[in-house]
A and B are shown apart, each in its own frame.
Chain A
Amino acid sequence: MTSSETGPAAAAPYAIELLGVAKQYGAATALQGVDLNIEPGEFIALLGPSGCGKSTLLKIIAGLEDATAGDIYINGRLANYLRPKDRDVAMVFQNYALYPHMTVETNIGFPLAMRKLPKATVADRVREVAALVGLSDHLKKYPDQLSGGQRQRVALGRAIIREPVAFLMDEPLSNLDALLRVQMRTELLKLHRRVGRTTIYVTHDQVEAMTMANRIVVMRDGSVQQVGSAAEIYQHPANVFVATFVGSPPMNLLGGTLRTDGGRPRIDGPVAVDLAGIGPVPAGDGAVSVGIRPENIEVDAPEAPGATPGRIDLIEAVGSDSFLSVSLADDSTVIARVPADAVVREGQRVGLRFPAAAIRLFDHEGNRITTKGLDA
């Protein structure tokens, strides 16, 4: 392998480029055909449920696992055959993987010491990095003398000190308690702005992914479901999985039939919606899933014209809002979000409106039906 062998995008190399990356463990498929381009400096989140292959993908990029098929380019160079240390990526592990028998100073300086840099240089860099991650006063301590947040920073410091092409972070905040997690999230983002390195961040927490990443890669069962910004993924989910995985509570999905009556598309089913106002809808009749986010459902009086009648089964108040579980005539349930001060009570009959512009349609395989009007 020569260094002149570069990826397809040789002119302005992506920081990381994945082409058809696949991984098999015996008969089990961990990853299939993953394609992904990551721009230098980008913050990418790999989001998905446990076992979706996101950590495996990270390990393949790091070189800790070999891909069964596909190519990995790092900084324009084919990395498949490079050893982990030659890939110029640094990893932050879920449980930090600090060396317990080494001080903070030695832990942070370890990557440089392993590269046989002069002791004085290492010491200088350790001081710089420790200041950057706020650990200057703890250099002589051992990991077991630090709090969870401080350990996390040691792990970050150890990654930063090498100045790698990319940081690979494997659920780095999942072991912190809720409050600290929010704090560290902000700190990580600030650090990313300051250091400006490409970051691939694995998480199963959609809030983390949505608040931190430039782009989110939603994964399921080893394959990429959708790549896009938080807004794109939330507003225009590529399929039923993304629609229900992202968002809390998830998007409501109801059965329905798409009909075109004299050129006017509409949905029939427990929810009847006239889609005429939103432009052309692909021709043809058929069963579809109708998706709508809870906040887009309008709650009205039960007898309001055009509203779908329902009954409030349960009210979950979360402080700022309340989520209403409303059962419809066919026993399906939808969740609607109303302001916390809305006057509602359990058992109350209401009428629900489903604005056509907020409706997302999915075909029988669960993939989004692209409609010009809806996806503009």
Chain B
Amino acid sequence: MANRPAASAAVLAAAEQDRARGARRAASERWLTHLALAVACVLSAAPFFYVIAASLKDKGSLFQYPPVWFQWPPYLGNYQRLLFETGFPRWMLNSLFVATTVTAIKLLLDSMAGYALAKLDFTGKRVIFLLMLILLMVPFAAILIPLWSIAHQLHITNTYLALILPPLANPFGVFLMRQFILGLPKDLENAARLEGVSEFGIYWRIVLPLVKPGLVVLAVIIFTDQLVSFVWPLIATTDDNLLLMTVGVASMRAKGGTNYGLWSAAAIMSLVPVVIFFLALQRQFMARSTSGALNQ
């Protein structure tokens, strides 16, 4: 729009037209994008909303026709029953205990194994890595019976060990940590090696702090995976005191008959630890990355 004394009126008019057309196109593209996103949002949030609404309805309004979207005042009876008349609190504690323990141990093991596979040279390294990759491709159902058989022979069925030990052997975390650690420049370790830092020291003081985002990702994956795991806990434990949330909630169906309100309340409650865990770790996703380590 600067001074263009040489431009004729016709050129200026055409430019104005182009400008207006461009602005209209940008606006319509923006609207279309927002519309598509809004539809996707509604589609993914609708079932969630439905469960929340159902957990806050009494039996009457659950099956009312025409349906009510949201009962007012909300009915809290489902939650009351869940927390005080079922084993839910105990199941949740069990789940939290198992998930936390597995997560903590796995973070340590996986990052150590990942470091070894990514940065150290030793005989059999490729074979070990290959075996891990193969193991990743074996569906859980295929090892379910042998796994139970091993647990049975070790006499650990119906103990916390049965819930904690098997997931530790999942190689996914090792694979993930290896990939993260591979991305760290060799010079960082070399610099530390020149200062006499031990191999464990390099892992602990240099590598771990730098793969924090990877550790957080892995923690979230393992933790949620443990909270929602169902088949193995169902098979490995029969003791009521050892039931995990998933198995416990399923057993309510068997024992208590159809109660959509109660089940919905259980579903919502079981999300609470995941949400808290995720929110607590969310800031860590944005942890200081390796930017600044290298000038590239």
On A, residues with C-beta under 8 Å from B are 59, 62-64, 83-86, 89-91, 93-101, 110-111, 114-115, 142-146, 148, 151-152, 158, 175-176
Contacts and interface: CB of A to CB of B under 8 A. Distances in A.
B293 A111 contact: no
Given A91-B194, A100-B210, A100-B290, 5 more contacts: A63-B194, A64-B194, A101-B288, A142-B288, A158-B191
Interface in B163-204: 185, 187-188, 190-191, 193-197
Contact of A97 (B188, B209, B288): B188
B292 interface: yes
Given A64-B190, A97-B188, A99-B188, A146 B292 contact: yes
Interface string B126-152: 000000000000000000000000000
Contact of B296 (A62, A89, A152, A175): A175
Contacts of B296: 95, 175
Which residue, of A101, A144, A145, A158, has the highest number of chain B Cβ atoms within 10 A? A101
Given A95-B294, A95-B296, A100 B191 contact: no
Contacts of A85: 193-196
Contacts, number: 82
* CB-CB nearest 9 A-B residue pairs: A144-B292, A85-B196, A143-B292, A95-B294, A97-B187, A100-B293, A97-B191, A93-B187, A101-B209
A115 B292 contact: no
Contacts of B190: 59, 62, 64, 91, 93, 97
Interface string B277-296: 00000000000111111111
A257 to B, nearest CB: 51
A26 to B, nearest CB: 13
Given A151-B292, A151-B295, A114 B191 contact: no
B193 A99 contact: no
Contacts of A143: 292-293
B295 A175 contact: yes
A214 B294 CA distance: 29
A169 to B, nearest CB: 13
Interface in B247-296: 288-296
Contacts of B288: 100-101, 142, 144
Given A85-B194, A110-B195, A97 B289 contact: no
Contacts of A146: 292
Contact of A96 (B196, B210, B291, B295): B295
B196 A97 contact: no
Contact of B196 (A98, A115, A151, A176): A115
A114 B289 CA distance: 24
B216 interface: no
Contacts of A63: 194
Nearest to A174: B295
Nearest to A99: B206
A150 to B, nearest CB: 10
A62 B292 contact: no
Contacts of A97: 185, 187-188, 190-191, 293-294
A100 B291 contact: yes
A38 B296 CA distance: 31
A265 B191 CA distance: 57
25 contacts: A62-B190, A64-B194, A83-B196, A85-B196, A91-B190, A93-B190, A93-B191, A95-B185, A95-B293, A96-B293, A96-B294, A96-B295, A97-B190, A97-B293, A97-B294, A99-B188, A99-B191, A99-B206, A99-B293, A114-B195, A114-B197, A143-B292, A144-B288, A144-B291, A175-B296
Contacts of B292: 98, 100, 142-146, 151
Contacts of B185: 95, 97
A92 B279 CA distance: 40
A336 to B, nearest CB: 39
Given A100-B210, A101-B209, A142-B288, A90 B295 contact: no
Which residue, of B188, B196, B292, has the highest number of chain A Cβ atoms within 10 A? B292
